[in-house]
Amino acid sequence: MLIINLIGFVLIGLIIWWFWLYKPGTTAVTKGTVPITVENGVYSPAQVRVQAGEPIILSFVRKDSSPCSAIVQFDDLGFSEELPLNKAREIKFESLTPGKYPFSCQMQMYRGELIVEGQSDE
């Protein structure tokens, strides 16, 4: 009985870590087109850093057949896109102001962040 309880607590801890605490460390710092793979419950890369005022294309390729991965939504920007299975869906941003723009699936299980940084003084 003790072993069953311990296994249960470990599983609960893993679920909490995966869905609420896990933050993928991959960051893409780029201009142009950024490929983002949707697979195994995560966006990869989960963070994309760009400069304000620069056009950017996020190219989502959904490899996960889960219904949860079928839509990506940008709540702060007020839109969502359906992601076809094994095909790229490009989302173009002409110019964004500095800030953090989270994106997720409709159930908030897949999570990512578009980070727009201020113009650099060159």
For residue 50, list its beta bridge partners: 116
Sign of the Cα torsion 50, 52, 57, 59 reads positive
| Residue in the structure block whose two tokens are 């057949």 | 65
Measured between alpha carbons, how far is residue 106 from residues 5, 80, 111 in Å? 32, 9, 10
- Cα–Cα distance, 2 to 102 (Å, whole number): 41
C-alpha span between 110 and 95 (Å, rounded)? 25
Please tell me the predicted confidence (pLDDT) of residue 122. 45
Evaluate whether 72 touches 105 at the Cβ level (below 8 Å).
yes
Q: What is the pLDDT of residues 5-48, one digit of tens each?
A: 888 888 888 777 666 666 655 566 667 888 999 998 889 998 99
Residue 13's pLDDT is 83
Could you give the domains of the chain?
25-117 (2.60.40.420)
Q: What pLDDT is attached to residue 29?
A: 64
pLDDT tens column, 54-102: 889 999 999 989 998 999 999 999 999 999 999 999 999 988 899 999 9
pTM of the entire predicted model: 0.74
